[in-house]
């Protein structure tokens, strides 16, 4: 090497500074490697549950870190520990705290033990739920394990820079962007590039031309499977050559570099940073000839599937070993003719190696002592209580044995403590002891504390929670006109886009034609292509765009054309969006709004009601099912005042129905988690939602003709459902319950029945068996008859309710059949 131009951001520095930087990089690499080696041992000895480490990837991650600037975002995978150490967001003790799953966020800042080690995140949110200044820190979006699952989010993180650069009105959002100069950096293992969402994201970023740099760490294997079974031509850069940007085309700049070549890696990452940052051209960096010294994970040994020749090559081309060779062999002639070296002898590197071992060993010991110390304190407290109870209880011998078994556990976990206490309580259930109260309080306190450690932050617990937004009713003037309901949606979106420059709407057909139902008619022309935009047919990355942009302070509304198509993106919703706040212990958020339409569609592929599958997979996302467009528009207004993600399912067959046009568009709100009684009745409570609700209303009119007066409750919100427990009040009045739903049997109707009968204790008021009326188990055949014979019809609802009333009063309601 003959110059120092490859240093951070290509700035010229003195040789001494250059030397110190290189040796510091080597030190970080050695510390990271020692963490991997010692971490594996901690798993195999049982102190940690599972381990997956970044050994073999250290040097390219050092190079990435040099190009990474404040305001940038990483969206990576579980081998990037060296990068996190290099940017100053992870130290060795925190690494081991994550491995042990320490539940204190101040000690284990990545996830408070909620994710296995190797999953990294920085904190985007203050304690009160407000945004930190993301431009004053280096940012890592919270990792997920599903392979390639980080890709869609990466697209949105990059797109945010494009939006901040080009959309007027966002100039004051300086805590999120500096005129769009931030780069989103992705990392992935070479085998995971076989996943469809990798290609979907690569294609989308190439089309959109966003500042994204994608690093592929290539060690030739995916667990035990060689690249020849993973990738055509065994090379991701070869098969993506068609994406290479040419004159007057969109596309990528593509670099290929060896993962052990420190000099070329630093040079490559600086070039990539400059291209993406200044030109908003995406870059693919194929980092090849990497190794995996300990194999894929602690679940097995790579000696089982790698040849002796391959294993020897991995030793010879280990990236740290090659960096060490380069450091030892480096010589440069100085300005005065002197020979400049990084080290005078190998002893200097040996000293770094030894210090790294000592530092990591001490960090491991401190992390373990901090982790186990908390639990042993709980053991001591529990043992003291059990001793006092044993001294007075007639079952003292058994309680003492429980205590002795507990204190004999060398490395206890919290389960051991609480399980022992709860078993001991059984022995004194019939005894009246003051110590029994102390034990009960200990158990209750432990369970209460466990909520914060293991269950908190599924949804927002801040003052900005959407559940805290008060209801504001629509206002109607004397001359309010009845319009097609789509007009309410269109004009409400117009009001929101005008009021909030950070709001964007995008999806298939959402732009030029104003969506397939004209709910965005004319809004692209008025607000611009970046704020109301079309996308390709690629649902997973539409969701990813929304997640990434929401993580950077924008308020995206991602449109999935029909509810059925949501299944393409369900993995991203479930594994990434729904878990983000939870898995980061409330330190990151993505208040994305997902817009779609469904209910009462024709055909197998447009049946529109897989609600049970959705609500059971997306806990952490509000799922809202408004019965009309006025209610739907109110939900959008509510959500934009809150900080949680949500899915809104509009009624496809409701856009052309007439509704009164409110005068306070963009202002009125529909409360989340609140049911609405839309018809009072005395004989039976009927709960439904969406388009099926209209069939219930029609059946209600027909039932009234035979003397049956039903009360109709609109669920409105499935996640959460009825936080005020108003449904049980209706059941207490009518003493009967029917849930009507167009999902399959056991789907959303079963969920609602559990919520009402079990969680709201409605069982105690029932005089008849609670019932559900659902669609058939299959999807509907095409056409109106398919809908009629597959899903609940007005006649089905009439006859189901009549049957319940016949059972209650057979003399009054004679059997129909």
- The residues annotated with a catalytic role in the active site are 606
Per-residue tokens: 361: 């060993």
Report CA-CA distances (Å) from 62 to 58, 262, 623, 668: 6, 8, 42, 51
Please name which of 596, 493, 506 lies closest in space to residue 548, comparing C-alpha atoms.
506
Please give the Cα distance from 423 to 418 (Å, whole number).
Answer: 9
Please give the Cα distance from 240 to 242 (Å, whole number).
Answer: 5
Cβ pair 792, 688 in contact under 8 A? no
To 10 degrees, the CA torsion angle through 448, 47, 300, 297? 70
Report CA-CA distances (Å) from 469 to 458, 635, 669: 18, 10, 8
Per-residue tokens: 139: 């940012």
Per the document, the length of the chain is: 817
Peptide bond into 720 cis (omega under 30): yes
Listed in sequence order, the residues at least 6 apart from 564 whose beta carbon sits closer than 8 Å to its beta carbon are 598, 601, 605, 606, 607, 608, 610
Please name which of 796, 798, 733 lies closest in space to residue 767, comparing C-alpha atoms.
733
Please give the Cα distance from 108 to 679 (Å, whole number).
Answer: 52
Please give the Cα distance from 771 to 757 (Å, whole number).
Answer: 11
CB-CB neighbours of 95 under 10 Å: 30
Please give the Cα distance from 557 to 163 (Å, whole number).
Answer: 14
Q: Which of helix, strand or coil describes residue 119?
A: coil
Please name which of 416, 423, 424, 418 lies closest in space to residue 448, comparing C-alpha atoms.
418
Please give the Cα distance from 407 to 417 (Å, whole number).
Answer: 9
- CA 660, 662, 663: angle at the middle one, nearest 5? 140
DSSP conformational letter for 142:
P
**Exposure letters 158-195 (e unless 16+ CB within 10 A, then b):** bbbbbbbbebeebeebeebbeebbbbbbbbbbbbbbbb
Q: Looking up tokens 């706040």, which residue turns up? A: 581
Please give the Cα distance from 773 to 681 (Å, whole number).
Answer: 19
Please name which of 280, 273, 64 lies closest in space to residue 161, comparing C-alpha atoms.
280
> Over 599-640, what HEC string results?
CCCCCHHHCCCCHHHHHHHCCCCEEECCCCHHHHHHHHHHHC
Please name which of 290, 15, 539 lies closest in space to residue 5, comparing C-alpha atoms.
15
Please give the Cα distance from 253 to 453 (Å, whole number).
Answer: 45
- Torsion over CA: 627, 628, 630, 633 (sign): positive
Per-residue tokens: 208: 């959109």
Please name which of 463, 469, 460 lies closest in space to residue 671, comparing C-alpha atoms.
469
Please give the Cα distance from 124 to 129 (Å, whole number).
Answer: 9
To 10 degrees, the CA torsion angle through 47, 51, 56, 58? -80
Please give the Cα distance from 256 to 287 (Å, whole number).
Answer: 6
Q: Looking up tokens 């490395």, which residue turns up? A: 411
Cβ pair 654, 511 in contact under 8 A? no
Distance of CA 124 to the CA centre of its chain: 14
């Amino acid at each position: 090497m003959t110059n120092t131009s490859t240093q951070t951001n290509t700035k010229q520095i003195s040789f001494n500074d250059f030397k110190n930087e290189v040796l510091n990089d080597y030190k970080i690499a050695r510390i990271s490697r020692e963490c991997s080696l010692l971490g594996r041992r901690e798993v195999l000895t049982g102190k940690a549950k599972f381990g997956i480490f970044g050994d073999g990837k250290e040097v390219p991650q050092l190079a990435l870190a040099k190009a990474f600037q404040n305001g940038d975002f990483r969206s990576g995978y579980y081998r990037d520990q060296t990068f996190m150490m290099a940017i100053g967001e992870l130290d060795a003790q925190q690494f081991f705290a994550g491995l042990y799953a320490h539940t204190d966020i101040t000690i284990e800042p990545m996830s408070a033990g909620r994710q296995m080690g190797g999953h990294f995140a920085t904190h985007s949110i203050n304690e009160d739920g407000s945004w930190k200044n993301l431009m004053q820190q280096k940012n890592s979006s919270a990792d997920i394990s599903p392979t390639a699952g980080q890709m869609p989010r990466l697209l949105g993180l990059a797109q945010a820079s494009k939006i901040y650069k080009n959309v007027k009105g966002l100039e004051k959002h300086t805590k999120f962007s500096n005129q769009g100069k931030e780069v989103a950096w992705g990392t992935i293992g070479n085998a995971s590039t076989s996943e469809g969402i990798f290609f979907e994201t690569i294609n989308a970023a190439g089309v959109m031309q966003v500042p994204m740099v994608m690093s592929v760490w290539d060690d030739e294997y995916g667990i035990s499977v060689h690249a020849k079974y993973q990738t055509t031509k065994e090379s991701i850069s070869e098969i993506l050559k068609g994406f290479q940007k040419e004159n007057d085309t969109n596309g990528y700049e593509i670099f290929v570099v060896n993962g052990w070549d420190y000099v070329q890696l630093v040079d490559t990452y600086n070039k990539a940073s400059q291209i993406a940052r200044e030109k908003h051209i995406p870059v693919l960096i194929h980092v090849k000839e990497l190794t995996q010294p300990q194999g894929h994970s602690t679940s097995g040994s790579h000696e089982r599937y790698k040849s002796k020749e391959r294993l020897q090559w991995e030793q010879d081309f280990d990236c740290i070993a090659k960096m060490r060779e380069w450091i030892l062999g480096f010589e440069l002639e100085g300005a005065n003719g002197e020979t400049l070296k990084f080290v005078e002898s190998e002893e200097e590197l040996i000293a770094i190696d030894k210090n790294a071992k000592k530092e990591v060993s001490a960090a491991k010991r401190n992390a373990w002592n901090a982790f186990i110390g908390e639990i042993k304190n709980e053991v001591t407290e529990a043992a003291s209580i059990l001793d006092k109870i044993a001294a007075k209880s007639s079952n003292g011998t058994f309680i003492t044995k429980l205590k002795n078994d507990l204190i004999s556990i060398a490395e206890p976990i919290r389960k051991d403590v609480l399980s022992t206490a709860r078993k001991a309580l059984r022995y004194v259930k019939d005894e009246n002891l003051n110590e029994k109260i102390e034990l009960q309080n200990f158990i209750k306190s432990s369970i209460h504390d466990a909520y914060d450690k293991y269950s908190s932050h599924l949804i927002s617990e801040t003052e900005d929670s959407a559940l805290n937004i008060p209801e504001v009713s629509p206002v109607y003037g004397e001359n309010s006109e009845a319009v097609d309901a789509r007009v309410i949606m269109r004009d409400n979106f117009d009001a929101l886009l005008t009021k909030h420059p950070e709001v964007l709407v995008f999806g298939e057909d959402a732009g030029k034609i104003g969506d397939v139902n004209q709910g965005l008619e004319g809004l692209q022309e008025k607000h611009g292509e970046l704020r109301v935009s079309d996308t390709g047919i690629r649902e997973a990355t539409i969701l990813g765009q929304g997640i990434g942009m929401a993580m950077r302070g924008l308020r995206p509304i991602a449109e999935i054309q029909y509810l059925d198509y949501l299944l393409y993106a369900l993995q991203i919703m479930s594994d990434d969006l729904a878990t983000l706040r939870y898995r980061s212990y409330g330190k990151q958020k993505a208040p994305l709004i997902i817009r779609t339409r469904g209910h009462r569609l024709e055909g197998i592929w447009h049946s529109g009601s897989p609600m049970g599958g959705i609500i059971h997979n997306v806990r952490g996302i509000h799922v809202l099912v408004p019965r009309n467009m006025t209610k739907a528009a109110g939900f959008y207004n509510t959500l934009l005042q809150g900080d949680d993600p949500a899915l809104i399912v509009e009624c496809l067959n409701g856009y052309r129905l007439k509704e009164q046009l409110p005068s306070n568009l963009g202002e009125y709100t529909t409360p989340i988690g609140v049911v609405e009684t839309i018809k009072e009745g005395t004989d039976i409570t009927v709960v439904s939602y969406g388009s099926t609700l209209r069939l219930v209303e029609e059946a209600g009119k027909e039932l009234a003709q035979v003397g049956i007066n039903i009360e109709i409750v609109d669920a409105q919100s499935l996640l959460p459902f009825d936080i005020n427990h108003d449904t049980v009040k209706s059941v207490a009045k009518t003493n009967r319950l029917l849930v009507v739903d167009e999902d399959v049997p056991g789907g959303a109707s079963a969920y609602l029945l559990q919520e009402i009968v079990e969680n709201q204790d409605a069982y105690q008021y029932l005089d008849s068996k609670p019932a559900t009326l659902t669609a058939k188990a299959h999807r509907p055949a095409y056409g109106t008859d398919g809908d009629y014979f597959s899903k609940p019809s007005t006649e089905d609802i009439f006859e189901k309710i009549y049957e319940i009333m016949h059972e209650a009063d057979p003399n009054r309601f004679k059997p129909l059949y």
